[in-house]
Chain A
Amino acid sequence: MKVAFLAGALAAIAAGASAIAQPISDPGERAFQFCFSCHSVEKNQTEVLSGPNLNGVVGRPIASKAGFDYSPGMKTFGSGKVWTPELIAQFIQDPRALVPGTAMQKPPGPRSPEERNALLEYLKKAH
């Protein structure tokens, strides 16, 4: 019965204009583009993303964001630890080397120490 009901549903259609791109001038925000598709720094995140919200992540106990389903590997690693800038820098360079079993794959960036520092400054400001 449920199948028959849903089969009749009509989709809602809306016009969606495509904005022209604006350059990103903040080096931290630019570095965050490597994280952007899976993570938000917005307090009022509404999208369902595959990574936890990073608002306030610096200094936060690891694997503690309410409502996010962390991997067993991250829960085990994070027990009793907080995300320091140093730990975040180490994690993003090779997530699975630091946290075996984490769901996060190695991102293609940030690549340089300067880009990583810019990202960390950006995350520190995300409150």
Chain B
Amino acid sequence: MKRILLGAGLSVALVISGVGLAQQAPQTKSYPLKGASIHDVAPAPGGLVWWTAQGDGKLGILDPKTGSTKLVALGPNSAPHGVIQGKDGKAWITDGGQNAIVSYDPKTEKVTVFKLPEDTGGYTNLNTPTEDGDGNIWFTGQNGWHGKLDVKTGKVSAWKSPKGRGPYGMTTTPDGNVWFVSLANSYLGQIDRATGNVKVIEPPVPNLGTRRVWSDSKGDLWMSEWSGGQISHYSPSTGKWERIPLPGNGRPNLYAVYVDNKDVVWVSNWADDKIYGYDPATKRFSSVPGNGVRQILGIPGQVYLPEGQGAITVINTGGSAS
């Protein structure tokens, strides 16, 4: 029995440390955006790409076909962090500077600001948005908040999160439910969408610094560990939490995580300026260069990387699987 276990461990180690990286690296294409402050990116209608220009208080729009760009002002004191595309085709933005959720309608070019309630203290350090199964926008505030914008009424609700500061990445599972992770307090939270209450799921190891989270096609949650340096994987159906180390012997700091349409898990490692793709089916890794990548998103066949040094890089993952 011991021999079998050792053999299995060895094969995994070989895959993650050697064979996986020996695979052909995915093709990438970069779009330099000179002088731009890029935080997060999202696919936009018509093949365009949105990005949050946090330091400029604007939404950026890139046309990858031509390389042309455009900036949309979001309002006084704006400092946008996260952006997603809703099913309505609008950009939904977490704007820390305005302490508001901001929408941008590409059809009318109208910007609408939905302020958080005043009793949130004026500044919640808004972080990540996600759209739930009903089309409402949920968000995290790193000062210790989570909340919801009811898109039909425009009402914004906010709740104090368990344990205080830390709510960071947020995602929606295929059943339409919403989960988030706490960076400062290292937990995975499942939101009860009817009440705003949170079920706290503690990792098996403390102080992992769970920074971002993304759902795969089955509703399993994948997390980037900023302090722990590994990929965390939680399965709601079994209650199991596994941790997957990156290849090599370094001390990774994982910032972003995204699961693509083929259920490949992409993470950015700030310790070696690389983006790693982990395929849970084969347990193999691939990697591409990626500097200062704070968030990852994509469309079938493409993964978008907002690079800190002023570029959006697209990984070609081999066509659509849809």
Give chain A's interface residues, CB within 8 Å of chain B: 1-4, 6-24, 30, 33-34, 36-37, 47-49, 106, 108-109, 111
Q: Is B114 an interface residue (CB 8 A)?
A: no
What sequence of 0s and 1s flags, for each residue 61-104 of chain B, a beta carbon within 8 Å of any chain A beta carbon? 00000000000000001010000000000000000110000000
Q: What 5 new A-B contacts, CB under 8 Å, besides A8-B240, A36-B165?
A: A7-B240, A17-B197, A19-B159, A30-B121, A48-B184
Residues of A within 8 A of B161 (CB): 16, 18
Q: Which residue of B lies closest to A19 (CB)?
A: B160
Name 28 interchain pairs, CB-CB below 8 A, sorted by A. Answer: A3-B243, A6-B204, A6-B242, A9-B240, A9-B242, A11-B188, A11-B204, A11-B240, A15-B197, A15-B199, A16-B161, A18-B159, A18-B160, A18-B161, A18-B162, A19-B159, A20-B160, A23-B118, A23-B119, A23-B121, A24-B121, A24-B122, A33-B143, A34-B125, A37-B142, A37-B184, A48-B207, A109-B77
Is B135 part of the binding interface, using a Cβ–Cβ cutoff of 8 Å? no
B262 within 8 A of partner (CB): no
Residues in B neighbouring A36, C-beta threshold 8 A? 125, 143-144, 165
Q: Residues 126-144 of chain B: 1 if any A CB is under 8 Å from the residue's CB, otherwise 0?
A: 0000000000000000111
Chain A, residue nearest B159 (CB): A18
Which residues from chain B contact A10 at a C-beta distance below 8 Å? Answer: 204, 239-241
**Residues A18 and B243 in contact, CB atoms below 8 Å apart:** no
Report B153-186 CB contacts with A as 1/0, cut-off 8 Å: 0000011111111100000000000000000111
B244 at the interface (CB under 8 A from A): yes
A13 CB contacts on chain B under 8 angstroms: 199-202, 239
A1-B9, A10-B240, A16-B197 given as contacts; is B162 within 8 A of A33 (CB)? Answer: no
Given contacts A21-B120, A33-B123, A48-B209, contact A9 B185 (CB under 8 A): no
Enumerate chain B interface residues (CB-CB to A < 8 A).
5-6, 8-9, 12, 55, 77, 79, 96-97, 117-125, 142-144, 146, 158-166, 184-186, 188-189, 195-205, 207, 209, 227, 234, 239-245
Tell me whether A15 and B241 are in contact (CB under 8 A). no
Q: Could you tell me the distance in whole angstroms from the C-beta of B254 to the nearest C-beta in chain A?
A: 14
Given contacts A24-B121, A33-B124, contact A3 B160 (CB under 8 A): no
Chain B residues, Cβ within 8 Å of A30: 121-122
A4 and B9 contacting across the interface, CB-CB below 8 Å: yes
Q: Indicate if the CB atoms of A3 and B184 lie closer than 8 Å.
A: no
A7–B233 alpha-carbon span in the complex (Å):
9
Closest to B120 in A: A21
In the assembled complex, the Cα of A106 lies from the Cα of B55 at a distance in Å of 8
**Complex Cα distance A106/B146, Å?**
23
Contact residue among A2, A15, A24, A48 (Cβ-Cβ distance under 8 Å from B200): A15
Taken together as a complex, chains A and B put the C-alpha atoms of A6 and B234 apart, in Å, by: 12
Chain A residues positioned under 8 Å from B244 (CB to CB): 3
Cα distance A13–B158 when bound, in Å? 23
| A6/B123 contact (C-beta < 8 A), A33-B143, A47-B185, A106-B55 known | no
Contact A16 B184 (CB under 8 A): no
List residues of chain B with CB within 8 A of the CB of A34.
123, 125
For A13, give the chain B residue with the smallest CB separation: B201
Closest to A4 in B: B9
Contact A18 B198, beta carbon cutoff 8 Å: yes
Contact between chains at B143 and A37 (CB < 8 Å): yes
Q: Do residues A11 and B5 form an inter-chain contact, with CB atoms below 8 A?
A: no
- Do residues A11 and B201 form an inter-chain contact, with CB atoms below 8 A? yes
Q: Nearest Cβ distance between residue B73 and chain A, in whole angstroms?
A: 15
The answer for the CA separation of A18 and B144 in the assembled complex, in Å, is 10
The reply to whether B160 and A16 contact each other, CB–CB distance below 8 Å, is no
Minimal Cβ-Cβ distance residue in B for A17: B197
- Give the distance to chain A from B139, nearest Cβ to Cβ, in Å: 14
In the assembled complex, the CB of A115 is this many whole angstroms from the nearest CB of chain B, namely: 10
Known: A12-B201, A30-B121, A37-B143. A48 touches B227 (CB 8 A): yes
Instruction: For the complex, give the distance between the alpha carbons of A36 and B184 in Å.
Output: 11
Q: Which of B122, B202, B242 meets A33, CB within 8 Å?
A: B122
Closest to A8 in B: B240
Separation of A59 and B253 alpha carbons in the complex (Å): 33
Across the interface, do A16 and B143 meet the contact criterion of CB distance under 8 Å? no
